[in-house]
């Protein structure tokens, strides 16, 4: 026999948890990938200059941004209720990152090595996937 209190508790928590579970997962995966790339860029900037092409200050700046961005994603994903405007900001920010990455290759590609171009384009594809997953998560929210 299920108690009314137990059933009531499940009813109160289940919709909020299940309707935004996909978005939370997408935000956490984005945070893990962004954080890892950010830490790598910060820790290995001097070594990556010759391999990828951009100057160390650019790599350090991008790395620092990514670490802060990842922390923000984790905070957002941990909220009891994910604010839709904040989630849309992440989706649009990720879309802007993809556009900026492609422009960096097209307009500043001579500063990048062949591997640098590949890395920028591969991470742009990954970010586009994150934006799409987050958009799907937003659509699943009630």
Residue 108: band (very low, low, confident or very high) from pLDDT cuts 50, 70, 90: confident
| Arithmetic mean of pLDDT over the chain | 89
Q: What integer is the mean pLDDT of 120-134?
A: 98
User: For the residues 42-68, what does the mean pLDDT come to?
Assistant: 96
pLDDT of 8 > 50? The answer is no
Q: What is the pLDDT of residue 22?
A: 95
Over 70: is that where the pLDDT of 13 sits? no
pLDDT at 18: 56
N-term to C-term CA, the chain:
30
The pLDDT value recorded for residue 141 is 85
Res 6: pLDDT = 46
Give per-residue burial for 113-135: e unless 16+ CB within 10 Å, then b.
Answer: eeebbebbbebbebbbbbbebbb
pLDDT at residue 132, rounded to an integer: 98
Whether the model clears a pTM of 0.85, i.e. scores above it, the answer is: no
pLDDT at 29: 97
């Amino acid at each position: 026999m299920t108690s009314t209190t137990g059933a009531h508790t499940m009813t109160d928590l289940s919709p909020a948890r299940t309707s935004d579970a996909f978005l939370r997962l997408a935000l956490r995966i984005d945070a893990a990938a962004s954080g890892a790339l950010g830490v790598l860029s910060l820790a290995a900037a001097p070594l990556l200059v010759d391999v990828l092409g951009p100057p160390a200050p650019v790599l350090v700046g991008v790395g620092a941004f990514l670490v802060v961005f990842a922390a923000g994603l984790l905070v957002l994903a941990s909220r009891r209720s994910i604010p839709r405007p904040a989630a849309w900001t992440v989706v649009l920010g990720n879309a802007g990152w993809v556009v900026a990455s492609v422009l960096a290759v097209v307009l500043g590609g001579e500063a990048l090595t062949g591997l640098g171009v590949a890395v920028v384009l591969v991470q742009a594809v990954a970010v586009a996937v994150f934006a799409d997953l987050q958009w799907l998560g937003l659509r699943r929210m009630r």
